[in-house]
Structure 1
Amino acid sequence: MRITREQNERLTRVENGAPMGEVFRRYWIPALLADEVPEPDAPPVRVRLLGEDLVAFRDSNGEVGLVDAYCSHRRAPLFFGRNEECGIRCVYHGWKFDVNGNCLDTPSEEPGARLRFRAGIKAYPVHEAGGIIWTCMGPVDSMPEPPDHEWLRAPETHRGVSKTNEACNFLQAIEGGIDTAHSSFAHNNDLSNNRSLRALDRHPELDVDLQPHGFTYSSRRRIGGGRVYLRVYQFAMPSTQIRSVRLSWHGEGEEASYPALHGHIWVPVDDHNTAIYNFAYSADPGQPMPENWFEDHEHEMGRGPEDFKPGTFWLVREPANDFMIDREIQRTRTFTGIEGVNTQDFAIQTGMGRIVDRSQEALGSTDLAISTARKLLLDMTDRVRRGEPMLGSAPEDHNGTRATDMLMAEDEPWREVSKDLTAAWY
């Protein structure tokens, strides 16, 4: 699908009532990690979503509020507020608000003043699941039920979640994630290994099937001997990808391979920045994640504790230092010379600029998933305009899917052989 500049604007802009921002407001989207507000009366946290500045806090009863970043009195920043006695109190004049935005107290006014009954602030509904605080920022009368992805049903012992910020528009981050062909190149971290599955066939064949949740897409790589390396992915609207992974891990003195599923949720912070929520979970409900598996997975991705600027979700490797590219390693060992799979993606995606001009592209056969995602997102802007429900927003639309990868014979129908492995087990 060739994108015009007008379509590119419609696809990428999310601030100030832009059509794509209105699309995201019709879904439940992550606002922050639950660990960012770890306990009752913990310090409030700044949140920026869809170009809107907010503050999150967990009150004395453990309920989470997501409210306007500024007090209704003189617009003082509530980030500096006192989180106390089931509300956040502005430190400028002491006005206090609960998790629903109601003004509870105006101590700078005379006792009994009724001003507080009309001094409430904006508050958004929240839902806590999977280690994430979710919110729905659209009209209440069109708000769907909270999400019910398979990984959200996995027990805490079976899953992990993390967060990373990226300095580019959400769409080029999504498109990097759902581009299966680039993994044969950008993520080739061993140039000496020409027998890896992705090196044996660097131009996979793609299929895309539209689904109630968005779409299922597959890549098939012919690896010789009549065999095919099949990967089946899920893209759930508006911005979630699920894929299969099998990583090595070390435990109890032995090395093993652990089957899991992982993915990303790309959330627009504003037009020019994106928050990525990374999740992984055990493929088998009867098998919890081995100890340290998620931490090892994050380290391989380039998202270990040492990879972040202290106290932030921003990577140390960034555009300002060219992602610490090592040209000698690039020449001799890895395709990019950049450490960390996640970091390699960020280098390419942010290197395109904050918002890439898609009207200048020349798409090929391996870009089928990308063009499908664009078409569906554009379709959703039309649905908002017509007041229609969003694709994939209802729990029953997305709660039965998972991803897989496998080896199969060239003459086997991939949809049939993968059917049982792409249906939820939890």
Structure 2
Amino acid sequence: MRQYWIPAIMSSELERDREPVRLMLLGEKLVAFRDSDGNPGIMDERCPHRGVSLFLGRVEEGGIRCVYHGWKFRTDGTCIDMPSVPTEQACPHLVKARAFPVRECGGVVWIYLGDRSEPPALPQIEAALLPSHEVNVYCLQRECNYLQMAESDLDTSHFGFLHLGCLDADDFPENNPLRFAAENRAPEFASSEMPWGTSYGAHRAADDNQRYWRVANFLFPFWTQSPQGDFNDHIDARAFVPMDDEHTMMFHFSWRGKSRPLVVEDKEGKPLPGLRNNNVLLPNTTDWYGRWRPAANPQNDWLIDREMQRSRVTFSGLDNIRTQDQAAVESMGPIVDHAQEHLVSSDQMVAKTRRRMVKALQRFVEGEAPPGVDDSELFRAARGGFFVADEAIQWPDVYYHKAEGDGMKHVAPDVSISS
């Protein structure tokens, strides 16, 4: 993961010349701040002098100053002042805080934690590189390993149960393709390895000799593109960034064109139960795990409503899609025991992605760069979404046919895949 640029913190969380923010990332304790010139900085929380936490530091006049002895550091870690040392004995040129390269894009501050002297290019993931005024970004923290969250995004067969379990096809308007998922809760699957990672197409019969496709991708090292909207008019990506082994921060990037959000109303325009899709959060604190925490959590059983479940208002007893997903992955435990699983054909995307990750790790150990690090453009060919296509077009041709037809000129027709 350290070979890639990583989303670290929302730009809006860092105010100029204001207090620093604690940031747990890949098991490391860091502090993030924005200097008086507006430049973001992320560095080890420990002052290189005596190890006092820079979270206590004063952000002022182009840097951060340790409160213990007043030593001051720029965003790149350069020491620029040692006021506790006599002038003739000061040696700021010999001291540097452990700081990391950062870039700001799409409303997010990114960090490079690798060991290259020259960081690679930012991954060319559509949604993540849109201008901040065009893309909607939010964060959610969850109490589990990052892979559990990513794999849930790649598992479309749960959609007909966890989210739509008490709804029938007749509950949806004719123009809402989710009626096909409610009509057939056991889709057929096709999946492939792709240069960016893996991809699947789950498909069901639709009207007029067509099929309803839900397409998703896994992109190295922890990105997903799930069918959050119409393939043609919605760009979406999620990064599941490990805070540590048992806590994950999700960054969700999305852009929508002229279409309205997916209708979650019945034929009479009333909201369908269980399909709210909003964040109910606790107030942020300054704790290492104090940011973007859902109000529903393992400590309160995710606010499950058993009466709602018994009366079949919702299948899960949870009236929010995001809480439904959260409860599922967190209930597995902080790190799920894969030895207890029994995978079936509808889990092929999960299994294929795990194999793809293991192979990439083996090659990295042998000296090969991970996928996309030296060729970030390959991510441009990936997009998730749903669409209806002629039943004669099969996977993966249906993906490339749809992508090229909808103007994704960067999709390479000669991308090698394996079924």
> What TM-score results when the alignment is normalised by the length of structure 1?
0.83
Instruction: Identify the residue that residue 176 of structure 2 maps to in structure 1.
Output: none
Please state whether the residue corresponding to 1:348 is helix, strand or coil: helix
In the aligned structure 1, how far is the partner of 2:297 from the partner of 2:239? 21
What is the CA-CA distance between 1:275 and the residue it aligns to? 0.5
Q: Pick closer, same or farther for the CA change 1:425–1:310 going to 2, 3 Å.
A: farther
- Is 1:267 equivalent to 2:246 in the alignment? no
In the aligned structure 2, how far is the partner of 1:265 from the partner of 1:34? 16
Instruction: Identify the residue that residue 320 of structure 1 maps to in structure 2.
Output: 299
Q: Is the 8 A contact 1:158 1:288 kept in 2?
A: no
Please state whether the residue corresponding to 1:368 is helix, strand or coil: helix
Q: Is the 8 A contact 1:192 1:333 kept in 2?
A: no
Question: Where do 5+ consecutive residues of structure 1 fail to align?
Answer: 1-23, 248-257, 291-295
Residue-by-residue CA offset, 1:129-183 (whole Å, 9 max, x unaligned): 1111111211114732112211234343432000010000111111111111111
Please state whether the residue corresponding to 1:140 is helix, strand or coil: coil
Instruction: Identify the residue that residue 384 of structure 2 maps to in structure 1.
Output: 403
In the aligned structure 1, how far is the partner of 2:24 from the partner of 2:329? 21
Please state whether the residue corresponding to 1:92 is helix, strand or coil: coil
In the aligned structure 2, how far is the partner of 1:157 from the partner of 1:36? 16
Please tell me the root mean square deviation across aligned C-alpha atoms, in Å. Answer: 2.5
Q: Is the 8 A contact 1:243 1:261 kept in 2?
A: no
Instruction: Identify the residue that residue 20 of structure 1 maps to in structure 2.
Output: none
* 1:240 maps to amino acid: W
Instruction: Identify the residue that residue 204 of structure 1 maps to in structure 2.
Output: 187
Which of residues 83, 93, 97 in structure 1 aligns to 2:59?
83
Using the aligned pairs only, state the percent identity. Answer: 35
* 1:110 maps to amino acid: P
Equivalent residues, number: 380
What is the CA-CA distance between 1:260 and the residue it aligns to? 2.0
Q: Is the 8 A contact 2:277 2:322 kept in 1?
A: yes
Q: Is the 8 A contact 2:153 2:226 kept in 1?
A: no
Residue-by-residue CA offset, 1:378-419 (whole Å, 9 max, x unaligned): 123223312211112232121232223112233332433442
Instruction: Identify the residue that residue 172 of structure 1 maps to in structure 2.
Output: 148
Please state whether the residue corresponding to 1:158 is helix, strand or coil: coil
* 2:248 maps to amino acid: T
Instruction: Identify the residue that residue 268 of structure 2 maps to in structure 1.
Output: none
Q: Is the 8 A contact 1:404 1:422 kept in 2?
A: no
What is the CA-CA distance between 1:128 and the residue it aligns to? 1.1
- Is 1:229 equivalent to 2:208 in the alignment? no
What is the CA-CA distance between 1:274 and the residue it aligns to? 0.5
In the aligned structure 2, how far is the partner of 1:116 from the partner of 1:301? 55
Residue-by-residue CA offset, 1:352-374 (whole Å, 9 max, x unaligned): 11001101111011111111221
What is the CA-CA distance between 1:100 and the residue it aligns to? 1.0
Q: Pick closer, same or farther for the CA change 1:156–1:131 going to 2, 3 Å.
A: closer
Which of residues 93, 97, 102 in structure 1 aligns to 2:78?
102
- Is 1:391 equivalent to 2:371 in the alignment? yes
Instruction: Identify the residue that residue 175 of structure 2 maps to in structure 1.
Output: none
Q: Pick closer, same or farther for the CA change 1:351–1:36 going to 2, 3 Å.
A: same
In the aligned structure 1, how far is the partner of 2:123 from the partner of 2:237? 15
In the aligned structure 1, how far is the partner of 2:205 from the partner of 2:368? 42
In the aligned structure 2, how far is the partner of 1:126 from the partner of 1:336? 41
In the aligned structure 2, how far is the partner of 1:403 from the partner of 1:310? 32
Which of residues 208, 214, 223 in structure 2 aligns to 1:240?
223
- Is 1:362 equivalent to 2:342 in the alignment? yes
Please state whether the residue corresponding to 1:234 is helix, strand or coil: strand
Please state whether the residue corresponding to 1:91 is helix, strand or coil: coil
Q: Is the 8 A contact 1:230 1:414 kept in 2?
A: no
In the aligned structure 2, how far is the partner of 1:275 from the partner of 1:25? 16
Instruction: Identify the residue that residue 94 of structure 2 maps to in structure 1.
Output: 118
* 1:346 maps to amino acid: Q
Per mean C-alpha deviation after superposition, the further-off stretch among 141-150 and 237-246 is 141-150
Question: Where do 5+ consecutive residues of structure 2 fail to align?
Answer: 172-178, 262-270, 285-290, 411-419
Question: Which 4+ residue blocks in structure 1 deviate beyond 4 angstroms?
Answer: 192-195, 287-290, 299-302
What is the CA-CA distance between 1:187 and the residue it aligns to? 1.0
Please state whether the residue corresponding to 2:87 is helix, strand or coil: coil
What is the CA-CA distance between 1:236 and the residue it aligns to? 1.1
In the aligned structure 1, how far is the partner of 2:168 from the partner of 2:324? 19
Residue-by-residue CA offset, 1:29-67 (whole Å, 9 max, x unaligned): 111111111x42132111111100001111122211110
Instruction: Identify the residue that residue 55 of structure 1 maps to in structure 2.
Output: 31
* 2:159 maps to amino acid: S
Structure with the bigger percentage of helix: 1
Q: Pick closer, same or farther for the CA change 1:155–1:64 going to 2, 3 Å.
A: closer
Q: Is the 8 A contact 1:50 1:270 kept in 2?
A: yes
What is the CA-CA distance between 1:259 and the residue it aligns to? 3.9
Q: Is the 8 A contact 2:128 2:253 kept in 1?
A: no
In the aligned structure 2, how far is the partner of 1:131 from the partner of 1:303? 20
- Is 1:351 equivalent to 2:331 in the alignment? yes
In the aligned structure 1, how far is the partner of 2:185 from the partner of 2:350? 18
> What TM-score results when the alignment is normalised by the length of structure 2?
0.84
* 2:381 maps to amino acid: G
Instruction: Identify the residue that residue 145 of structure 1 maps to in structure 2.
Output: 121
Instruction: Identify the residue that residue 310 of structure 1 maps to in structure 2.
Output: 283
